[in-house]
């Protein structure tokens, strides 16, 4: 990884500084509560998706983008579920956030891909570990990582894992500004 990778990470932080003083930390307990409630409420899922689309149309557009469409149906549904967990967790955390701008999503996504693509690490966890260094919403990012880590029950492909991580990290970054 070395100096070039650290320099790129520093440039990313300069280009997309986080407002560390205004955001409340999102706890693992809140994330677990929200994710469980969404997972258990199949009856209200359509209503939740509609509410998500109404409140954050650019985020919905982003997770339905061309790159994400390369995921299989099960991966796309899982990405939607994880995106809704991120969004609802921010809503319930008491943090204020605004409508996410499409241009901002694209710029942040490009910067996140740059970090991934410049990593020489071989494993998924090693490739994403630089994102955790000093990250304000570490519990939320860890939730995303845990949701995507390969295990015997995992249906997420290797390529899908990175696409989904970058998409979700991008959404968190934008909400966290």
| Whether the Cβ atoms of residue 56 and residue 87 lie closer than 8 Å to each other | yes
Comparing CA positions, the residue from 23, 172, 17, 20 lying closest to residue 95 is 23
What pLDDT score was predicted for residue 22? 56
The total number of structural domains in the chain stands at: 1
Residue 16, pLDDT above cutoff 60: no
Which are the contacts of 68, defined by CB distance < 8 A and separation ≥ 6? 62, 76, 79, 163, 167
Domain range enclosing 34:
2-175
Q: What percent of the chain has pLDDT over 90?
A: 68
- The pTM score is 0.84
């Amino acid at each position: 990884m070395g100096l070039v990778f650290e320099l790129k990470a520093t440039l990313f932080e300069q280009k997309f500084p986080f407002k560390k003083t205004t955001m409340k930390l999102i706890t693992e307990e809140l994330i677990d509560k929200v994710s469980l409630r969404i997972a258990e409420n199949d009856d209200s899922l359509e209503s939740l998706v509609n509410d998500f689309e109404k409140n954050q149309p650019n985020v919905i557009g982003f997770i339905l983008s061309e790159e994400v469409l390369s995921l299989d149906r099960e991966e796309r549904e899982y990405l939607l579920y994880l995106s809704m967990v991120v969004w609802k967790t921010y809503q319930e955390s008491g943090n204020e956030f605004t409508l996410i701008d499409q241009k901002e999503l694209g710029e942040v996504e490009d910067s996140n891909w740059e970090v991934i693509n410049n990593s020489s690490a071989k494993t998924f966890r090693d490739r994403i570990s630089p994102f955790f260094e000093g990250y304000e919403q570490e519990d939320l990012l860890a939730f995303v990582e845990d949701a995507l880590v390969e295990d015997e029950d995992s249906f997420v492909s290797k390529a899908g894992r990175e696409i989904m991580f970058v998409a979700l990290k991008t959404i968190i970054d934008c909400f966290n500004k």
